[in-house]
Structure 1
Amino acid sequence: MARELRGHDLQCAIAQAAAVIGDWWSLLIVREVTRGHHRFEELLAELGISRKVLAERLRHLTDHQVLERRPYQTGPERHEYVLTGTGRALAPVLISMQDWADRWLLADGSLTGTAEPDSAEAARVHALRGTPVPAPLLLPATLPPGDGRAPGAASRPLDVVADARATVLFAYPATGVPAPLPPSWGSLPGAVGCTLENRLFRDAEPSLTAEGVAVHGVSTQRPDEQETFAAGEGLTFPLLSDMDAQFAAALRLPTFRAGQTLRLKRLILVVDASRVIRDVIYPVLDIPAAVEEAGRMAMKVVEGP
């Protein structure tokens, strides 16, 4: 457990944070609750931790209002653990730690917007196949015309998984409109091509929608930036803003830092109506081919076994 703070540590915010979440198990518990594992037995299975240590760490995190206990069963009463606002605010911390380790511990330190197909990062993304997207996972969304929203109105939260037979969910780093991209953007592997990708999905979306497939795009750009871009490109599908890293943390998605901002690396997930990730494309090495392949994957989900 965290040690007692003394002396100058009482005024140090880093020491204060470490006292709450600096313990190995505490961090991993927050990681797992962020991923959608809320019950004691689920956490036990995911972490391989002893019951005693898990109970102690859950009590510690609850006492510090990182987690909240909520009853989900009576007779006997059982509780699950959910993130408070304090806990949800740790998502960027988790992703920053992951981003640092992906670059400096699991790779050679090069800044890149993609990954090698045989990398540990790629293996983590492909391991998402067959796992559920936590429900609900709401992000600020820029909605297409015709939804009854006045032009320029604030976006509203939208679940990353649509109420459809399948959802093609594509993550992209950033578009250059309206905010300019960092000067080094063009030299970063995997960074260029976001406008092209959005246009290709825009062109494919009508035929996918006709078959019961929804398309959602997601980046870490602000909703107002996404709205300007979507209006200029005539996008007919929602763009979702993961500016607070809630989506990235829930699925442990890979990121890179450019222009002092964490950006999602380009990847595509195909999710079925029960929220299970059925297929993954990562890394995306050929954008037009990946968009076509995502459509074929989604149609396989719709058609069933």
Structure 2
Amino acid sequence: MRRVSFEDRACSVARCLEVVGDWWTMLIVRDLTFGVTRFDDIQRRLGVARNVLTQRLEHLVRHEVVERVPYQDHPARYDYRLTEKGRDLWQVLTAMRQWGDRWAATGGPPVEMVHLDCGHVATAVPHCSECGAELRVSNMRAVPGPGGVDPAMVPPARDS
């Protein structure tokens, strides 16, 4: 059954889901982020059916999240590598991992991320690009953006 497309929606979240909102896709991107780039290695780590992995990788290549880089001619074999667009999903993966660590991990986080500059386990915290303050839903509000075509996409101001 084909799901409804979000491609024409004037919502960046919906458009992101159009590319990466599938069951296996972010797990594939996770493995690529960690340097697992060969089809057989990805398939073995995830336990995903080969045809499903093929379809998801083709989808990611088509959307320029992943590129295929040949590493062998006979037979033709490829590494799958994240493009700049794909590497930008790191923040999405990090938010998903941290949410999973807090709300779904039994026995603690299965993986921790160490900041190479200081050597400590680190948690990513969003900060304002202008003033440096920590960003929380309670100190943010949505306003129309330059690409906004539907005023109904901006929710009404909430009560504090």
Asked if these proteins are the same fold (TM beyond 0.5), I'd say: yes
Alignment of 1:23-62 (within 5 A): 23-62=22-61
1:217 paired residue number: 118
1:169-188 alpha-carbon deviations (Å, 9 max, x no partner): x649xxxxxxxxxxxxxxxx
2:70 aligned with 1:96, yes or no?
no
The answer to whether the 8 Å contact 2:94/2:124 transfers is no
Gaps of 5+ in 2: 127-132, 136-160
Paired letter, 1:53 = V
2:16 paired residue number: 17
Higher relative contact order (CA 8 A, sep 6+): 1
| Identical amino acids, percent of aligned pairs | 38
Shift of 1:3: 3.8
Alignment of 1:229-248 (within 5 A): none
Paired letter, 1:34 = T
Match of 1:260 among 134, 141, 160: 134
1:124 paired residue number: 111
User: Counterparts of 2:19 and 2:3 in 1: how far apart (Å)?
Assistant: 7
Gaps of 5+ in 1: 108-118, 129-169, 173-215, 220-252, 262-305
User: Counterparts of 1:2 and 1:45 in 2: how far apart (Å)?
Assistant: 28
User: Counterparts of 1:59 and 1:68 in 2: how far apart (Å)?
Assistant: 9
Shift of 1:101: 1.9
Provide the alpha-carbon RMSD of the alignment.
2.7
1:72-113 alpha-carbon deviations (Å, 9 max, x no partner): 011122111000000000001100111122223337xxxxxx
Structure with greater strand percent: 1
The answer to whether the 8 Å contact 1:39/1:79 transfers is yes
User: Counterparts of 2:87 and 2:30 in 1: how far apart (Å)?
Assistant: 10
Q: Structure 1 2/120 Cα, relative in aligned 2: closer, same or farther at 3 Å?
A: farther
1:205-239 alpha-carbon deviations (Å, 9 max, x no partner): xxxxxxxxxxx5258xxxxxxxxxxxxxxxxxxxx
Report the count of equivalent residues.
Answer: 128
Paired letter, 1:5 = F
Q: Structure 1 106/75 Cα, relative in aligned 2: closer, same or farther at 3 Å?
A: closer
Secondary structure of 2:125 counterpart = strand
2:84 paired residue number: 85
User: Counterparts of 2:101 and 2:3 in 1: how far apart (Å)?
Assistant: 26
Secondary structure of 2:71 counterpart = strand
Secondary structure of 1:82 counterpart = strand
User: Which runs of at least 4 in structure 1 moved beyond 6 Å after TM superposition?
Assistant: none
User: Counterparts of 2:30 and 2:3 in 1: how far apart (Å)?
Assistant: 18
The answer to whether the 8 Å contact 2:66/2:82 transfers is yes
Shift of 1:2: 6.1
